[in-house]
Amino acid sequence: MAAFLTALQQTPTAVKAGLAEVSDLFQERYVTESSARTGEYYTPRAVTQLLAEVLSPRPGDRVFDPACGTGGLLTAAAQHIAQQGHGGASFEGYAMDRRNPQLAMLNLALHGVDRSLVEASDPGSLFRNPGSGMAEFVLCNPPFNQRVQNLEHLHWWPFGQPPESNANFAWLQFAWARLSEKGKAAVIMPAGAASVRDRTARIRRGMLVGGALLAVVALPAGLFSHTSVPVHLWLLARDASRHFPTGETGSVLFIDASRLGRQTPHGAHVIDPADRERISSRFHAWLRSPRETLDEPGFSCSVSYDEILENESCSFDPRLHVVPVREQPAAALNTRRLLDELVERSESTAAATTPLCRSFDRSERVARRETEAARMPLRSVVKGSEEGSVEATRLLFAGPSGSLIRAEHYVDVGGVPVVMPRDLTGSGFSTTSVRRISEEQARGLERFHLRPGDVVLARRGELGRAAVVREEQNGWVCGTGCFLLRPPAGLDADYFVAYLRGPEARTWLEAHSTGSMKMRTISLDVIGDLPITLPELGTQQAIADTMKRLDEHERQLREQLALTQRIRHDALDGGIIPTP
């Protein structure tokens, strides 16, 4: 009342401005004290001014608010136009509370608007009859998370059917549908609408692909008297491409203004004019040239459609996209280094895929040329000129007995590795737990020394494990739990190992083994009966080459998996999880 009395003592021009200010105060008090439950709430003047400054309506434009309450957003738009020194704009709105249309038109009249149309309506009626009148600007602070019945029976939705239990995306689509070809809209939404994982994710995706989204601004919490829930400002366009320079479409501006503003003594959060200017100027600069407007860490970021669509939920939450301003902790820096390493490994693995495919094709071609591959027991493959010859015993034999290598023969330092079944892996030999004997003890076991090209087979435990001896294992000793095979000229060592690891050989070995389920054992006589499919040597080598490439590919993938797991651990240990 004091402001009203003060205004009466001023000049006519000042009185008009003072009455408009008093009107704003009365409107705020009326809506705050109103007992209506229509879902309309007072939008603080700082927020209405922000929406007007961001959209920047011009004289002659048509401005529309489908949930106008007492007309706060419409009057903010009118004030912004009046500051340009011209008029001629038209204003239209709908109020959910039937007591509000007259108040809204009075509010507009006190702000110098004599061409306004405000009517009472409800969301259901609006959505059933969206109307065809187009507006250059739509400003709206609709009821949040409102349930509107029978939405699922309507079929005009441009980007997808909104759920009946929550009308947020019905309001967004309604605002977009009332825009003219060059129109823009500013709609206040609860923060959850930007990233909730339900059918609305498809609507967000449709809005993005359809060129309906310009920007999303995260505003501070505590701006509204009725809720402390943080809100976002969605800036829409009927056709985003019309607002960008040629060739610069396909991106969205995200602004994180959640830390701007100040706390008043009464507990409310207020956005100051400087904060509004920072938000609106960044948006306008970005519209003029997205490419030349640099991202500002902690405040704004321009993100391409493709990058947004990579996220399964198609999130529009600015906090997900805007890089925070803070010194990265050591864990984060280490994570970044590991990510770079993961990229390099991924590229290397991808590059090896094409040669692997060619190797497979080559193996298939040579295999098709085989009319009928021979199938014979292993002893027939390794025997000499006659069954059971001395040569056969030199080519396939068991490792030394326990009496030749006793527990006291093993040493802790130095020595010669002794290969046991646990040391055989799918791609070679593991030295993780390999045990060693002294060089003097190894010299007495020369017959069991490994040579490049030999094959070591497990004779107990997991049958079918085998590895080809390379130059690195030359001179190692075959242990008591293994067989040692020296392949003859017609048997490729790598092919034989690949065959042993296959399901046919493993099934046969399991069926012919003895012992318990936990410790299967197979004898030298039985392993000699193992049937082997033996194509010609060239085919064996082609198949072996393919299997070696597969082994290498698997090794690379396992290393990538281990690296990914480490990145995940580091990320959770301070890399991306906020620290208190």
Q: What is the pLDDT of residue 154?
A: 84
Three-state SS sequence of 184-223: EEEEEEEHHHHCCCCCHHHHHHHHHHCCCEEEEEECCCCC
Which of 72-81, 95-104, 125-134 tops mean pLDDT? 72-81
Q: Which two tokens stand for residue 152?
A: 């699922």
Tokens 């340009």 appear where? 84
The CB density around residue 181, as the number of other CB atoms within 10 Å, is: 10
Q: Where are the domains of the chain?
A: 2-321, 374-534
Q: What is the pLDDT of residue 246?
A: 85
- Mean pLDDT (the chain, rounded): 84
d(CA 36, CA 143): 13
Q: How many residues does the chain have?
A: 580
Q: What is the pLDDT of residue 343?
A: 87
Percent of the residues in the chain that have a pLDDT greater than 70, as a whole number: 86
pLDDT tens per residue, range 194-234:
998 878 899 999 999 999 999 999 999 888 876 777 899 99
Q: What is the pLDDT of residue 333?
A: 64
Q: What is the pLDDT of residue 172?
A: 96
pLDDT tens per residue, range 476-506:
999 999 999 999 988 999 999 999 988 899 9
Could you name the CATH architecture of 2-321? 3-Layer(aba) Sandwich (3.40)
| Pairing between β-strand 251-256 and β-strand 300-304 as defined by DSSP bridges | antiparallel
pLDDT mean over 503-522: 88
Residue 235 clears pLDDT 90, i.e. is over it: yes
Q: What is the pLDDT of residue 23?
A: 55
Q: Which two tokens stand for residue 214?
A: 């310009």
Percent of the residues in the chain that have a pLDDT greater than 90, as a whole number: 46
Q: ∠ at Cα 512 (509, 516), nearest 5°?
A: 95
Contact 219, 231 (CB under 8 A): yes
pTM score of the predicted model? 0.58
Q: What is the pLDDT of residue 142?
A: 94
pLDDT band at 9 (very low <50, low <70, confident <90, very high): very low
Q: What is the pLDDT of residue 272?
A: 92
Chain mean position to CA 237: 27
Using alpha carbons, list the distances in angstroms from residue 125 to 43, 135, 174: 23, 19, 12
**Bridge partners for 235 per DSSP:** 186, 215
pLDDT mean over 166-183: 94
Least confident of 76-90, 295-309, 388-402, 427-441: 388-402
Q: What is the pLDDT of residue 77?
A: 93
pLDDT mean over 509-524: 87
Domain 374-534, CATH homologous superfamily name and number: DNA methylase specificity domains (3.90.220.20)
Contact 412, 434 (CB under 8 A): no
d(CA 62, CA 181): 13
pLDDT mean over 152-162: 88
Q: What is the pLDDT of residue 461?
A: 87
Q: What is the pLDDT of residue 386?
A: 43
The amino acid occupying position 442 is A
Residue 326 clears pLDDT 70, i.e. is over it: no
pLDDT band at 576 (very low <50, low <70, confident <90, very high): low
Residue 543 clears pLDDT 60, i.e. is over it: yes
* Alpha-carbon torsion (70, 71, 73, 78), positive or negative: negative
